[in-house]
Structure 1
């Protein structure tokens, strides 16, 4: 599956957290330019974490230009225009000089940048001013673009030799067909991208009225408002984006791809879940029991423990703006492929028919709620959660209510949600390496 956007910052070896039992108190507002802002004050340590996200992910790549979204976000620091132009080295040195750490990335739906900086005025102001310039005034030098394209091509060639990567690409193609979620960069699409393409994509998608800014750290609300304005003040207003095609009804089927690897790589799934779906928590609990709970899941028990057909087997939902994939994955010896597939299918069918037991429900909810603190145990993790809340318009109390929502799930809820979102006859199967 394509890389999903998520950055964990570990700068300075410091982490600050909000206790899992405490209300997060996300403050949110919309600026005059249309940017949405989410802010949490946390004065535990003198740090500030900032994220700026745009509807500029891989699904927005133009036809024939797959890979453009990732090249654009990579190019933001290659050089800056303006009254005092900066080279790439000067931009990177500027962040380093104030001990700030910046990351960038593009996923299926969104793309953007994160910054961690000291909250002391001198360092913070310098880092944020530079971040604002990289968002609004990149110069996109040709030499930097050519280097990024060469790196992208190298990565594509490397992935084409890996059975796991081959399986992921074929899996997304089987699930999504011609939908943008299935389109993956190729050497040809990367080589076709020009500097004009990069500049046009940036001009269209890196706009103030579609920016989502998240901040957590040692600043006041007034300072947060000033920072948010600074980050978007030089960004243009964007015209409405064209609607993306709907995800087609899954048709199922099986794809087999020969590969000399000693094991078969197997993926089974279908488009299943949108962000904000009311069934999210029921599916979270149900998936933990099916294959998301590691060594305590049904799939692991049936495939690994009872039959030793695979070292690991998993299942998971990846919700997106449009229905994201449900996926079961495993590796097994080539000669065991048919047996492993049958066991997985039988296990899923039985779970959909009968649902979880009371003991499974208790264990799943205990583990999910008990481990929730690990999801928000640093400013960086909280920042990513806030970015998701802002981008997908989830309720501001989403994290505060997470444990309670899990505890409210019943076995009947799990059965109903699984049957609604997973239909065995519509699941696609991809096998790379089978004899």
Structure 2
């Protein structure tokens, strides 16, 4: 009896019959491991460039008579409707309720479906469950997001929509519910103290933003949330969760006319209110700011960065490409090559931009052994200096752009993803055609565009640096950083074989997190 290789069996299932006919199964020798019998079948799965062409969905700009921006994408594949209400009511608005009252938006999101004047929390949950609907609320730094997913059948849609409006207009934010959140937050605060990467993240934002609304954690602090009252949560809801501070995103099995009617019903049945006022501009620094957090760990955790730019900046797309090249594209990135591949200082080094209503952050982060700390920081900083000063590598640029284009369809690979993009486009006042325009905009970006953008927005001479470990020689570190800024510093080069440590990669302890530092931003609702 012929014994087939498991991969061949899998391939034969998924390949077309005509393809299988071209492969002579009798010539396959499973006894020779050097002969990969699956190659002919795998070759048949090659995708040509034409097959990689994905069309972004058409976005309708609905003319909502309440002047609430409403975007809609029709999706006939599934009998589902996704609704996202995005309010300009994130954690940045907390202190507009009371000074020092951090965590108001986050607590409002957690408690908004915990009861209204007519319904208990259980009755609300049962109402959604009976029609198969999913309801959620989440606060970010800029946004307060309400999501509803329900079947498009009016018998399912109407009850779910009615309950969503009941919640938005009549939540009571009971004291007993607040006490439960306080109890859970105490556990969360303890977890932060036990996580060097999370401690580093909190201190990084505080160091960068000072007294600005972005400075404090979205969840607030134990002290601040203990002061929050039902009256203040109700005030937050009445002031910010209103029609004129909202944009609406709808995706699903509806016509444009039905979507318009739905958006007007939502806007018309909400408190009208006023648009939130613009946020203050944060103040940037003019030199290095090195801070140390004592933590007993086998690894040292490092983050360095500075204020970035806004979501509205015309350089944003060029900076996204630059970030992919610097530290956002795995082993092909500059930071990974310098810190891991050449020197074995870390498992992974990453960079990121966050783009917000006012300047967000630029940062790079990694963890390393204690004895490699100063050397690794100097190498990471020198890599940033060189990235700003030296010409952009044209080959790396083309590879990066191609990768971003291939990945872009993931942004509209499902109804939920599409709706998230609509919410972001509406919130940041981008054109309704943005999803279609993106590939063309990306294609037009040149090496000179990127060079101009990074020289304008990246500042290796004024970084805020947070180090979490047992000890740090700040003076020695500052000397090394200033040395990197001197014009006669030689370019980075790979160490010789003799210089490479015998153990290049040291497996981290279980508690070490080698993924990029997870900043509480508006990522879930951004492109």
TM-score, length basis structure 1: 0.92
**C-alpha deviations, 1:214-268, integer Å up to 9, x for none?**
0000011222122212223332222454443211023331111110021111111
Secondary structure (helix, strand or coil) at the match of 1:35 reads coil
Q: List aligned pairs for 1:344-383, cutoff 5 A.
A: 344-383=380-419
1:422 equivalent to 2:458? Answer yes
Which deviates more, 302-311 or 182-191? 182-191
Give the Cα separation in 2 of the matches to 1:235 and 1:102. 17
Q: What is the match of residue 404 of structure 1?
A: 440
Q: Which has the higher strand share?
A: 1
Deviation at 1:111? 0.4
- The answer to whether the Cα contact below 8 Å between 2:245 and 2:276 also exists between their aligned partners in 1 is no
**1:248–1:163 distance in 2 versus 1, CA, 3 Å:** same
Residue number in structure 2 paired with 1:394: 430
Q: Equivalent residue of 1:56, what SS?
A: coil
Return the alpha-carbon distance in structure 2 between the equivalents of residues 349 and 434 of structure 1: 27
SS of the residue 2:383 aligns to: helix
Answer yes or no: is the 8 Å Cα contact 1:39–1:215 preserved in 2.
yes
Q: Deviations over 1:71-101 (max 9, x none)?
A: 11111111122xxx11000101111111111
Counterpart secondary structure, 1:321 = coil
Match of 2:153 among 114, 120, 123: 120
Residue of structure 2 equivalent to 1:229: 264
Question: Quick check: 1:36–1:390 contact (8 Å CA) kept in 2?
Answer: yes
Q: Does 1:96 align with 2:132?
A: no
For 1:163-312, list aligned pairs within 5 A.
163-184=196-217, 185-251=220-286, 252-312=288-348
1:433 aligns with 2:433: no
Backbone CA RMSD of aligned residues: 1.5
- Please list the CA deviations of residues 293-350 of structure 1 after superposition, one character each: whole Å capped at 9, or x if unmatched: 1121010001001101000110011100001101101011111110110110111111
> Which residue does the alignment assign to 2:29?
none
- The residue aligned with 1:339 is 375
Shift in CA distance, 191/303, structure 1 to aligned 2, threshold 3 Å: same
Report how far residue 102 of structure 1 moved.
1.4
Deviations for 1:102-123, whole angstroms, at most 9, x for unmatched residues?
Answer: 1210000010211111111211
Measure the CA separation in 2 of the matches of 1:261 and 1:213. Answer: 46
Q: Measured at CA, do residues 377 and 242 of structure 1 come closer, stay the same or move farther in structure 2, by a change above 3 Å?
A: closer
Instruction: Return the alpha-carbon distance in structure 2 between the equivalents of residues 331 and 23 of structure 1.
Output: 38
CA contact (8 A) 1:26 1:396 kept: yes
SS at match of 1:256: strand
Cα distance between partner residues in 1 of 2:57 and 2:285: 39
Q: Distance in 1 between matches of 2:341 and 2:273?
A: 54
C-alpha separation in 2, matches of 1:242 and 1:375:
30
Could you list the structure 1 runs, at least 4 aligned residues long, displaced by more than 4 angstroms after superposition.
none
Residue 25 of structure 1, aligned match among 45, 58, 65: 58
Stretches of structure 2 that go unaligned for 5 or more consecutive residues are 1-51, 472-527
State the alpha-carbon separation in 2 of the partners of residues 261 and 60 from structure 1. Answer: 36
Bigger drift between 357-366 and 141-150 goes to 141-150
CA contact (8 A) 2:83 2:147 kept: yes
1:117 match: secondary structure: strand
1:4-23 to structure 2, matched below 5 A, reads 21-23=54-56
Quote the residue 2:168 is aligned against: 135
Q: Is the 8 A contact 1:167 1:430 kept in 2?
A: yes
Q: Secondary structure at the match of 1:337?
A: helix
Q: Deviations over 1:382-408 (max 9, x none)?
A: 111110100010111111111121111
Residues 296 and 114 (structure 1 numbering): CA distance in 2 closer, same or farther, change over 3 Å? same
Quick one: distance in 2 between partners of 1:376 and 1:55? 23
Rate the CA distance shift 1:22–1:242 in 2: closer, same or farther, 3 A. closer
* Partner SS, residue 307 of structure 2: strand
Distance 2:353 2:161 in 1: 35
Structure 1 position 356, deviation (Å): 2.0
Give the structure-2-normalised TM-score.
0.76
Aligned counterpart in structure 2 of residue 71 of structure 1, from 79, 86, 107:
107
1:30 CA drift (Å): 5.0
Counterpart CA distance in 1 for 2:278 and 2:426 is: 20
The whole-number CA distance in structure 1 between the counterparts of 2:297 and 2:168 is: 43
After TM superposition, the structure 1 stretch with the greater mean CA deviation from structure 2, 252-261 or 149-158, is 149-158
8 Å CA contact 2:86–2:145 kept in 1: the answer is: yes
Residue of structure 2 equivalent to 1:321: 357
1:53–1:212 contact (8 Å) kept in structure 2: yes
Are the equivalent residues in 1 in contact too, given 2:165–2:270 (CA < 8 A)? no
